[in-house]
């Protein structure tokens, strides 16, 4: 199925949040299923699969539709588990054991190790999974989510200030005052609304004056 990829993807600053945001669009309160192609694109963009592996993984929806669907089901479940847990953190509610079970399930079935990986001119710790089954493709996402939930850094986890928008992000900004998933979308939309409100107020004042 075709997905509009022309819209800029808001930066959520954490792999687990970017994945959790995948079926959400900026400014949109609706959650849709994840599509196979966008899932593969996401894995490639986040360097979870290499350029050489990408055609093989993408073709799975044709060559092994059962395996592809099973992986997509795991991905959906993981995404829902992450969103439910992150929203609970935002509301300062307890996270229930059954909510994190899909995260633990991925962590359990994926064995691997950490290693240093180049990241531009810097180095980062990267997770290298043992490639058995396909769930390993979700390992880094599950791990990123588990770290965020275990870390308890609730003050940096935020939801877009647009009430209609469900996008989550991690505020890495120096001032810690980021409010919008995307300035270009929700930020500007809110500014335009505030401007319209101000104009209306002034218009009403002017009318009252003339009356
Ligand atoms: Zn937003």
pLDDT in tens, 106-115: 998 877 788 8
* pLDDT of 51 strictly over 80: yes
Q: Residues lining ligand 1 (ion), CB within 5 A?
A: 26, 160, 162, 165, 167, 181, 186
* pLDDT of 120 strictly over 60: yes
Higher per-residue pLDDT: 207 or 52? 52
Contact 37, 1 (CB under 8 A): yes
pLDDT, residue 184, reads: 84
* pLDDT of 6 strictly over 50: no
CA of residue 146 to ligand 1 center, whole Å: 24
- Helix or strand run (H / E) with residue 159: strand 157-159
The stretch 130-148 carries a mean pLDDT of: 87
CA of residue 23 to ligand 1 center, whole Å: 13
20-35 pLDDT per residue, tens: 999 998 888 888 999 9
In sequence order, the 6+-apart residues with CB closer than 8 A to the CB of 28 are 164, 165, 166
3-class secondary-structure state, position 163? coil
Task: Quote the percentage of the chain above a pLDDT of 90.
Answer: 54
* Range with top average pLDDT, 80-94, 102-116, 171-185: 80-94
Higher per-residue pLDDT: 43 or 130? 43
The stretch 41-70 carries a mean pLDDT of: 93
- Which residue is associated with the tokens 């009252």? 208
The phi, psi pair for 151, rounded to 5°, reads: -70, -25
The pTM of this model reads 0.79
CA of residue 197 to ligand 1 center, whole Å: 20
The phi, psi pair for 160, rounded to 5°, reads: -50, 140
Average pLDDT, the chain: 85
* DSSP letter for each residue of 28-73: -----PPPHHHHHHHHHHTTSS-TTTHHHHHHHHHH-HHHHHHHHH
CA of residue 28 to ligand 1 center, whole Å: 8
pLDDT, residue 127, reads: 75
| E strand spans, the chain | 112-119, 122-129, 157-159, 168-170
């Amino acid at each position: 199925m075709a997905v509009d990829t022309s819209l800029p993807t808001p930066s959520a600053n954490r792999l687990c949040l970017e994945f959790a945001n995948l079926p959400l669009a900026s400014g949109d309160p609706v959650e849709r299923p994840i599509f196979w192609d966008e899932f593969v694109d996401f894995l490639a963009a986040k360097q979870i699969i290499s350029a050489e592996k990408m055609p093989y993984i993408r073709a799975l929806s044709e060559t092994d539709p059962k395996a592809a669907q099973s992986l997509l089901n795991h991905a959906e479940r993981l995404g829902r588990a992450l969103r439910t847990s992150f929203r609970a953190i935002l509301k300062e509610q307890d996270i229930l054991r059954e909510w994190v079970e899909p995260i633990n399930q991925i962590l359990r079935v994926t064995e691997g190790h950490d290693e240093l990986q180049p990241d531009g001119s810097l180095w980062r710790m990267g997770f290298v999974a043992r490639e058995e089954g396909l769930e390993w493709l979700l390992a880094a996402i599950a791990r990123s989510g588990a770290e965020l939930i275990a870390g308890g850094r609730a003050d940096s986890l935020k939801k877009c200030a647009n009430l209609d928008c469900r996008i989550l992000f991690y505020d890495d900004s120096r001032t810690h005052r980021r409010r919008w998933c995307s300035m270009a979308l929700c930020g500007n939309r809110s500014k335009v609304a505030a401007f319209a409100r101000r104009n209306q107020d002034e218009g009403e004042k002017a009318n009252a004056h003339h009356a």
